[in-house]
Structure 1
């Protein structure tokens, strides 16, 4: 049964990890945790501030520590940040400690979902679409590498996706 195991949602920004994760946790009666929210709460500032002060490298160090901690919890649905999988240690922790669900989306859909969000540091440049394409080129193979299940997110509601994920997990 899905509710006995940790479920880790990975994928690019704008794929719907947090939205689907909340629905999934609710349907399964599990705790929902968002790694980016956890980082912000502990730091007392937004991720954009952390990037400004510490750069991406500083943020990734914080993220690795949080992922290590959160993946050791039991019975959680964890939504990870889009870049979490850049770290080999994070990929190993996610793979070893739960079921990894890759929520796959297109760059067009990501752009549509994130264009007005000013709190995404990697998109604060002259060409956010090109930034999304560059990130996809590097990260998509890493998502695929550790995914137990890959699910396209562009066409379904979060609730339908959550139900579909439960069915897929039960058939693993």
Structure 2
């Protein structure tokens, strides 16, 4: 069985949901490129996201993020992992729905916390109570993530490959995105 990706799959969701890891596995499974909008921003700016936030602020970062996402959507079909805040912007949601398909990796707060609590690469969690900050971000963002075309629930007991399998199964429900032949 051969599958053909007809639209870019844009992975959205909270930090720690698995967008990069699952995205890489998904791209390998489908034989398409994997791109990460955060990595592309870092490459273009020649500095880390934390440094961009510190030097230029979040609004500047979000503008660059939108420009990068637009450029990546206009190029070849791929799996595109986005930063946790990318899908919050109406402009980005419209671009994704016009040129690709949004897949929400829906992880619960405990799973997210277990994945991000030991990392210092999350500028939004550099607070006195990072768990509470994560919960506040989660509460604000979930209603917007729920606007994604295809939700996929992630579970702590699923491997990266199992989660990628679930995404493929969901994508198969959309022949305009993934077609089997």
Output the TM-score relative to the length of structure 1.
0.95
Counterpart position of 1:152:
153
- Paired positions, count: 171
* Aligned-pair CA distance for 1:2: 5.0
User: 1:9 aligned to 8, 11, 16, which one?
Assistant: 11
Counterpart position of 2:179:
none
Q: Deviations over 1:148-170 (max 9, x none)?
A: 21111123111111122112211
Between 148-157 and 16-25, the greater mean CA deviation after superposition? 148-157
Counterpart position of 2:177:
none
Contact 1:3 1:29 in 2 (8 A): no
> The residue matched to 2:120 in structure 1 has which SS?
coil
Counterpart position of 1:48:
50
Find the aligned partners of 2:143 and 2:39 in 1 and give their Cα distance: 25
* Aligned-pair CA distance for 1:109: 1.3
* Aligned-pair CA distance for 1:64: 1.0
Counterpart position of 1:93:
95
Contact 1:2 1:166 in 2 (8 A): no
* Aligned-pair CA distance for 1:41: 0.7
Between 99-108 and 20-29, the greater mean CA deviation after superposition? 99-108
Q: 1:66 to 1:42 in 2, by over 3 A?
A: same
| Structure whose residues are more often helix by fraction | 1
* Aligned-pair CA distance for 1:51: 0.6
After superposing on structure 2, the runs of 4+ consecutive aligned residues of structure 1 that deviate more than 6 Å are: none
Q: Which ranges in structure 2 are unaligned for 5 or more consecutive residues?
A: 175-181
Q: Deviations over 1:97-144 (max 9, x none)?
A: 112110011111111111111111000011111111111111111111
Output the TM-score relative to the length of structure 2.
0.90
Task: Let me know the Cα RMSD of the aligned residues.
Answer: 1.1
Find the aligned partners of 2:105 and 2:4 in 1 and give their Cα distance: 17
